[in-house]
Amino acid sequence: MHASEVTPEIAANANELYWGSTRSVNQIAEELDLSKGALYAALVHLPSGMGCPLCGDEVGWANRTARDRDQLTCQTCDWSGTSSQTVSYSDGHSGEEGIGTGVDVTDFGAEPVVPPAPLLTPRMSTVAGGAIIGAAVGLVLVFWARRR
């Protein structure tokens, strides 16, 4: 089955098997009659209950290897790090705090302190690098044209 043919029910079953078992990706794909690409397309980040230190949104694991290595990512701001670098997270529905740092700052009557977002995200760095290279090439062409 191709990724475009995956139904929500199949995607839910794929996520349950992937995150809740130790079966290999090949075994899960075969059991669900999916290609590996379709299986990977159906998978979603596993929520961690911990908050991003930059934007405060919930972070999660992109795959089982990331979970085993404690490599969390934020889908909102592209932050990545370990659970020891997270902050408490509350989605506003349960009233429960996350398990990130083990210290709930609201116990002390203070609001959580979230550091500012970085000036350059990885995507912005790529764009900025391209702009600098483009400007350098433009200057070289201008100097070359003036010499002629």
Task: State pLDDT tens for residues 67-124.
Answer: 999 999 998 888 889 988 888 887 654 444 443 334 343 444 444 545 566 666 777 7
Residues 52, 77 contacting (CB under 8 angstroms):
yes
pLDDT tens readout for residues 2-27: 556 778 888 888 999 999 999 999 99
Judge if 69 and 25 occupy the same domain. Answer: no
Reported confidence tier of residue 128, pLDDT bands at 50, 70, 90: confident
**What's the domain range around 62?**
48-116
Domain count, the chain: 3
Judge if 108 and 65 occupy the same domain. Answer: yes
pLDDT at site 97: 40
Judge if 84 and 131 occupy the same domain. Answer: no
- pTM here is 0.55
pLDDT at site 1: 59
pLDDT at site 96: 40
pLDDT at site 121: 72
pLDDT at site 108: 40
